[in-house]
Amino acid sequence: MSDEAKIQQHDGTSWLYSDIVKDHFFNPRNVMPAGKEDEYQADGMGRVGSPACGDEMVIWIKIDPKTQKIVDCKWQTFGCGSAIASTSMLSEMLLENGGMTLDEAVKIKPQDIMERLGGLPARKVHCSVLGDQALQKAIEDYRNKLQS
């Protein structure tokens, strides 16, 4: 890991983040611009928060009704760098190769996100869980709308 991937803490210790985590933190993909939430015509939305760390995550998804693929994904995360990087990576995973089907997307686990990021410090693993949970809620929201 490069020296650039070390992020110094206030107490002089360092946490090691992969270059992939740093890239997604400093250059997040598919972020919902602030104030544009009401203009985005999402098919499903999921919101989760973690009382343990104060992070909150919202994911909006658009679905192709014929293929049941996620064709667009936007998100906002209010939290630490690991939460931002995890959500950014999740959004890329969902949209790769023309988009994941809903059946594929519901199978994404936090470990899949962490693996794609090159790992997270143990005390930041909960950040990748938020993305998984928000995605599950967004898919559930979409499926509930279809039934009503």
List the catalytic residues.
Answer: 53, 127
Structural tokens at position 148: 């009503």
- H helices present in the chain, as ranges: 19-26, 81-95, 102-105, 110-117, 125-147
Structural tokens at position 39: 């203009």
- Nearest-angstrom CA–CA distance, 46 and 120: 23
**Inter-residue contact 1 to 20 (CB < 8 Å):** no
**Inter-residue contact 46 to 146 (CB < 8 Å):** no
